Amino acid sequence: MHIRILLMLILFLTADCGGGNKHLPSSNPPEYDPKKASTTPSAPPSIPAMSVAKPAEPDPPPTQLPPLEPGPNEKGEWKKVPVKPESLQIFKGVKSPCEALSKVVQGLGSAQLFAGTEGQAFKQSLGPQAESVARSLDQQLLDNFKAQLGPNVADCPTRKSSLGEPLHAPRLLLATGPSQGSFQLAQATAPGSDREGYTITKGSVNIPIPPDAVGKKSREWRIEEGNTPATAGDRKGFSLINGGYAQKCPTPDPGVEGAYVVEGDYEFSLVVDQTINYSGSIRTEYNARSIHATLKGHVGDDAKLQYVDLDASLVIGNGGTNRPTSFAHQHQHVRFVPDRRAGGMPSQFSNWSVSEWDSGLAGSAQSDAMNMLLLAVTVFSGPFYLAAETEWNKPNACVEIVFTPPTRTKKFVPNESTPVKTELRTKKEQALVPAKFKEAKERPREGNGRVSPREKESQLNTPATFNYQAPATKIRHSGFRVSAVSRAGVAEAKDGEWELAPSAYVLEFKSHIVQGPLNLPNPGIGMFMSSNGFDAHVQAIVPLRRREDGEWVGEGVMQYATRTTTQPASCEIRVQGTGTTTFHVNGGSISSDPEPFAVNLIILPGQSGEIAETHCTSGNTPQKLKELAATQGVQVGETHGASKGGGWSGAFHITRFRTLNRNKKGYEMGGWTQVLNSDVVAKKTMTVNCSIMELSPCREETTLILRLADEPDAAASPPR
């Protein structure tokens, strides 16, 4: 009867009230002091995958969980026993989450509460309260399990208890029990309020699960402690751990070559301890029920879950003042298939095996209830596994495609065929996995070259080979894409793309600056001056290479051609000349993919070498002007002078000198416009007013063009 009564205590974990009296024996074993217990529930040191843990206030009390394996004084040998045919019935007929929920609730609640001779005796002892106790038990179990199953059972209709009454949610409390120390339940007279004479502490907290898993695991607790002289020394504690997880990615099964499984875990532990100070005599009682299951979901070649193997350790524990603490252990194995049409509910149970309990503590009633808990574990685990299946079927989440030769390493040769060995490997273990490759297509569009075959399978150490014939004329991203499906997950583009090596880049720089002459008429001294008018064309072609740090750099020749536009005058300063200098690209990045597209280059043009020639022809030049000109190295009269200065570089740099990045050694050029379907990758055009203090008009038009280096149109025309 202990298991039936104990399971009723699940409902206390969410109830607002509890109760009891001095005649109820305690539930702690003599050696167990809950205030000193240091054993805490085990959990992987990680964060939840589906919810964020928020510690409750106050912190949860420590809990002494029953040992999962037998101790030195117990049998310790696992002997398989035949499975009773009637036991199999609890696993049959589960077709929907609502049906499963109803079956579990009634199986653990009212159906077990009054089953058998002991159950009927208990029902008789409850008298008129029996119906409300049964309804309350089923309702509290319903609420607890609905919270675990989430949206799958949100719309389930209200069920009836085994007594045929609709379920509702009355509050429950502990009541007087029989002399042997069993727990009972009764209707609370004041729902929502603390029990008189007791301080009640309750809460819940999420238990961390591995970050690479999906699921949920939580602990709920309720503590009642006496706070009056009449209740001093009384204490009742309840703790429930319920939940589990499934890994997001399949992993190799060490026991079967080529097989992949999804590891999972589930735990259901209910621990009740009680201390009663009865007439100066301390009495204790301890009850525990626990199932800890390890699960393996087996994945098929289509990346779909096939079935789940569940291995469970079951423990029943009892102890107290009148009896030593003892535990009964059992192992069970069952295979089930989560039904996708029913939200993950278990179906097709098979391979069920059961070991003999290693202690006489477990009777038939306890065994039936533990089997029902085992069914509950399968009900809760199925949705986790379907959620995990969604994760490993996300493209490239768990696996990646590997090409030989690697993508972007084979140089373009018109119409050349390249055999590309293709394999799939796991991201975590970097282990090769057999896969089916399908939907091979040319990129960036079909018909750009030719890939064959369209489908191919790979085996361990036997890659799938696809032949790609390059087109006659290459465009960017020439290659093919393919998707893959396997026991370890699926992969698709973009990680499923193979393409020819990207072209080297070449930067084409063109600039045209026209500066009007500065005209200075001076009738008072009989002179007219015109200076520094020019028309300059500059061009550079710079092959780019990618540095080890990923920056693009290069150096090329810059050509300049400048002619004067100075007007005829008494004195003229003519800026003109042709020649070459250097042009540097000192870093930057190129991302030619559509999303995101970005070009940013650091350029530094060299100094153009135009000559500024001074021509003065007037014989009436004032002496003071001659002396001033002489200080500048110019002989005014029927003489001429020449010096370097002005021209294209002076106009180009003067408008940008404040933006010169001395650390990067150049001007940063961003804001390029992408060009599609051409050998031109990107283009940037600048129109600048280069006038200084509006003394003479000046206009600059500069264009930067980024091309593919190995395309026929990469050459540029000579400067004008």
Q: Using one digit for the tens of pLDDT, what is the confidence trace for 428-445?
A: 999 999 999 999 999 988
User: Do 128 and 145 fall into the same domain?
Assistant: yes
571-591/527-531 β-pairing: parallel
The DSSP secondary-structure symbol of 632 reads T
User: Do 481 and 512 fall into the same domain?
Assistant: no
Cα separation, 319 vs 321, whole angstroms: 7
User: Residue 153's pLDDT is what?
Assistant: 67
The whole-angstrom distance between residue 527's C-alpha and the CA centroid of its chain comes to 79
Convert the pLDDT of each residue in 209-257 to its tens digit: 999 999 999 888 888 888 888 888 888 887 888 889 999 999 999 888 8
| Joined tokens for residue 200 | 């009640």
Helix (H, G, I), strand (E, B) or coil at 122: helix
Structural domain includes residue 640: no
More confident residue, 187 or 360: 360
Average pLDDT score over residue span 161-166: 39
User: Do 222 and 172 fall into the same domain?
Assistant: yes
Q: Which pLDDT band, with edges at 50, 70 and 90, does 349 fall under?
A: confident
Structural domain includes residue 631: no
User: Do 239 and 355 fall into the same domain?
Assistant: yes
What is the residue range of 201's domain? Answer: 2-390
pLDDT for residue 629 is more than 70: no
Average pLDDT in the chain: 76
Cα separation, 92 vs 102, whole angstroms: 13
Residues pairing with 272 in the sheet: 238, 287
Convert the pLDDT of each residue in 70-99 to its tens digit: 655 455 566 777 776 666 666 666 666 677
User: Do 203 and 257 fall into the same domain?
Assistant: yes
More confident residue, 398 or 116: 398
Convert the pLDDT of each residue in 669-719 to its tens digit: 999 998 887 778 899 999 999 887 777 889 999 999 998 876 444 333 333
More confident residue, 6 or 706: 706
pLDDT for residue 661 is more than 50: yes
Q: What is the pTM of this model?
A: 0.64
User: Which CATH number goes with the domain that contains 414?
Assistant: 2.60.40
Structural domain includes residue 629: no
User: Do 349 and 475 fall into the same domain?
Assistant: no
Of 1, 584, 10, whose CA–CA distance to 240 is shortest?
10
User: Residue 401's pLDDT is what?
Assistant: 97
Structural domain includes residue 685: yes
Q: Which residue among 499, 531, 560 closes a domain?
A: 499
Amino acid identity for residue 521 in this structure: P
Cα separation, 88 vs 601, whole angstroms: 73
Number of domains forming the structure of the chain? 3
Is residue 612 within 8 A of residue 583, CB to CB? The reply is no
Structural domain includes residue 625: no
Residues pairing with 699 in the sheet: 514, 689
Convert the pLDDT of each residue in 10-68 to its tens digit: 333 333 333 333 332 333 333 333 333 333 333 333 323 333 334 444 566 776 677 77
More confident residue, 195 or 599: 599
User: Do 321 and 440 fall into the same domain?
Assistant: no
User: Do 97 and 116 fall into the same domain?
Assistant: yes
Radius of gyration of the chain (CA): 43
| Joined tokens for residue 449 | 């070259």
Is residue 287 within 8 A of residue 316, CB to CB? The reply is no
Q: Which pLDDT band, with edges at 50, 70 and 90, does 177 fall under?
A: very low
By mean pLDDT, which of 25-39, 121-135, 283-297 is the weakest?
25-39
Instruction: Name the percent of the chain lying above pLDDT 70.
Output: 68
Structural domain includes residue 273: yes
User: Do 238 and 306 fall into the same domain?
Assistant: yes
User: Residue 714's pLDDT is what?
Assistant: 35
Helix (H, G, I), strand (E, B) or coil at 699: strand
More confident residue, 24 or 600: 600
Residues 6+ apart with CB under 8 A from 623: none
- Tracing tokens 């800890």 back to the chain, one arrives at 292
User: Residue 125's pLDDT is what?
Assistant: 62
User: Cβ atoms within 10 A of the Cβ of 587, count?
Assistant: 20
User: Do 354 and 482 fall into the same domain?
Assistant: no
By mean pLDDT, which of 330-334, 489-493, 569-573 is the weakest?
569-573
User: Do 597 and 699 fall into the same domain?
Assistant: yes
694: left (phi over 0), alpha (psi -120 to 50) or beta: left
What element of type H or E holds 438? strand 435-443
Is residue 587 within 8 A of residue 551, CB to CB? The reply is yes
Convert the pLDDT of each residue in 476-531 to its tens digit: 789 999 999 999 999 998 889 999 987 788 999 999 999 988 887 765 555 677 88
The DSSP secondary-structure symbol of 215 reads E
Residues 6+ apart with CB under 8 A from 484: 399, 401, 424, 435, 436, 437, 438, 490, 491, 492, 496
By mean pLDDT, which of 76-90, 153-167, 307-321 is the weakest?
153-167
Backbone angles phi, psi at 421, to 5 degrees: -75, 135
pLDDT for residue 261 is more than 50: yes
pLDDT for residue 184 is more than 60: no
Q: CA separation (Å) from 196 to 187, 190, 224, 237, 303? A: 15, 10, 11, 17, 58
Helix (H, G, I), strand (E, B) or coil at 115: coil
Q: Which residue among 499, 533, 548 closes a domain?
A: 499
- Tracing tokens 């293709």 back to the chain, one arrives at 422
User: Residue 93's pLDDT is what?
Assistant: 61
User: Residue 137's pLDDT is what?
Assistant: 59
Convert the pLDDT of each residue in 354-403 to its tens digit: 888 887 777 776 777 777 788 888 888 998 999 999 999 999 999 999 99
Average pLDDT score over residue span 642-661: 80
User: Residue 303's pLDDT is what?
Assistant: 97
User: Residue 110's pLDDT is what?
Assistant: 64
Structural domain includes residue 627: no
Structural domain includes residue 633: no
User: Residue 162's pLDDT is what?
Assistant: 39
Residues pairing with 603 in the sheet: 585, 667
- Tracing tokens 């029927």 back to the chain, one arrives at 638
| Joined tokens for residue 549 | 């740090």
Q: Which pLDDT band, with edges at 50, 70 and 90, does 586 fall under?
A: very high
User: Cβ atoms within 10 A of the Cβ of 114, count?
Assistant: 20
User: Cβ atoms within 10 A of the Cβ of 500, count?
Assistant: 23
User: Do 651 and 681 fall into the same domain?
Assistant: yes
Q: Which residue among 472, 499, 526 closes a domain?
A: 499
